[in-house]
Amino acid sequence: MGAMSEAFDPLAPPARPAPFAALLGWVLGTAWQLQQQALWPAWVYGLLLIPGLLWALALCWRVLPRRLAAWLLCAAALGFATTGLRSLAFDAQALEPALEGRDLRIVGVVSDMPQRNEAGLRFTLATESATLDGRATAVPASIDVGWYAGTFSLGGEGGDPR
């Protein structure tokens, strides 16, 4: 039993704490970004991303002392910046709020195989053109479309989307 307790001690600190500090920092930086009410401009995230990358390289090459706080702060800055940049990329692909709830005429090509589920049919449409009240309007390049049938349709039976 003595050898068994020496081999595994769940309360002992990990042998290499730096990866755990980096992981914790990444999660904290990402969580901090997700709590923001509005996105910052891309250059602000770049100001955090570039020093974070340089600091991570310096830690890996042992130019800086390998302290847990350094790993934590570096990973937090990188997690915050990359989550912000990814959010900006997704936000750029969103439908303009002024077009929400309006009837648009969209021409496009089904780009993925339709997927049937219990609610109906879903597919991705690669848009070619869109008009609103006869005027061309800008829409995202790819739109997820859902066709609801059966119990989710307005008429009760609604028809089968086959």
Same structural domain, 21 and 79: yes
How far apart, in Å, are the Cα atoms of 3 and each of 10, 13, 15, 97?
A: 15, 18, 18, 65
Same structural domain, 62 and 109: no
Evaluate whether residue 10 is within a structural domain: no
Same structural domain, 45 and 80: yes
Same structural domain, 81 and 112: no
pLDDT above 60 for 147: yes
Evaluate whether residue 162 is within a structural domain: no
Q: What is the band of 70 on the pLDDT scale with cuts at 50, 70, 90?
A: confident
pLDDT of the residue at 83: 96
Q: What is the tally of structural domains in the chain?
A: 2
Domain that holds residue 130: 97-152
Q: What is the arithmetic mean of pLDDT over 71-80?
A: 90
From 61, 76, 92, the end of a domain falls on 92
Evaluate whether residue 4 is within a structural domain: no
Same structural domain, 82 and 54: yes
Same structural domain, 76 and 103: no
This prediction's pTM: 0.64
pLDDT above 90 for 34: yes
Same structural domain, 87 and 111: no
Evaluate whether residue 9 is within a structural domain: no
Report phi then psi at 47, rounded to 5.
-65, -30
pLDDT of the residue at 80: 96
Same structural domain, 104 and 121: yes
- HEC profile of 84-106: HHHHHHHHHCCCCHHHCCCCCEE
Same structural domain, 87 and 102: no
Contacts of 121 (CB under 8 A, 6+ apart): 114, 115, 146, 147, 149, 161
Beta carbons of 127 and 106 less than 8 angstroms apart: yes
Same structural domain, 114 and 138: yes
H or E element in which residue 122 lies: strand 120-132
